[in-house]
Amino acid sequence: MTNRERPLSPHLQVYRWQITMTMSILHRVTGMALSVGAFVLLWWLLAVAQGGEAYATVAACLASPVGMVAAFGFSLALVYHLLNGIRHLLWDAGWGFEIPDVYRSGYAVFGLTVVLTAAIWFVALRGGA
């Protein structure tokens, strides 16, 4: 049997980059980030249960610049994953399969993610009220 050079299955050389590809990748990445963030939340809850010194240590870590960046990333991932999940639920209900609707809902998820995350942090940094 001869071994002919055959192309691999279609890959990025064949397809041009699209918003749907980006959103699919980001949905998976944010899901993994939320899993890591759940462990940080568990750490915080355990520190609350232990009280005093344990809570002060966790609070200091979360209030540090690295902790704030991580908290911002977690909130951004949470909002994106939630909104994209709602988009998928709408697809499951049969809405939005036309190509213009797919692109429109994708850009809406990106835009709303930025707006809602900014609103959350605006309220949080103002002290809640």
The pLDDT score that the predictor gives to residue 40 is: 96
Taking a C-beta distance cutoff of 8 angstroms, is the pair 20, 97 a contact? no
**Which CATH code for domain 19-126?**
1.20.1300.10
Instruction: Tell me which residue of 36, 37, 35, 33 sits closest to 25, measured CA to CA.
Output: 33
pTM exceeds 0.75 for this model: yes
pLDDT means per 10 residues, the chain with 129 residues, are: 66 76 95 97 96 94 96 97 97 93 96 98 84
The pLDDT score that the predictor gives to residue 16 is: 79
The pLDDT score that the predictor gives to residue 9 is: 67
**In the chain, where the domains are located:** 19-126
Instruction: Share the mean pLDDT of the chain.
Output: 91
Q: What phi and psi, each to the nearest 5 degrees, are found at residue 25?
A: -65, -45
The pLDDT score that the predictor gives to residue 118 is: 97
The pLDDT score that the predictor gives to residue 7 is: 63
- Please, how many CA atoms are within 13 Å of residue 1, restricted to the half-sphere of its CB? 2
What distance in Å separates the CA atoms of residue 27 and residue 49, rounded to the nearest whole number?
A: 32
Question: 23 exposed, middle or buried (CB, 10 Å; 0-12, 13-18, 19+)?
Answer: buried
The pLDDT score that the predictor gives to residue 2 is: 64
- Relative orientation angle of helices 99-126 and 19-50, to the nearest 10 degrees: 30
Instruction: Tell me which residue of 83, 84, 74, 82 sits closest to 25, measured CA to CA.
Output: 84
Distances (CA, A) of 72 to 36, 57, 61: 14, 19, 14
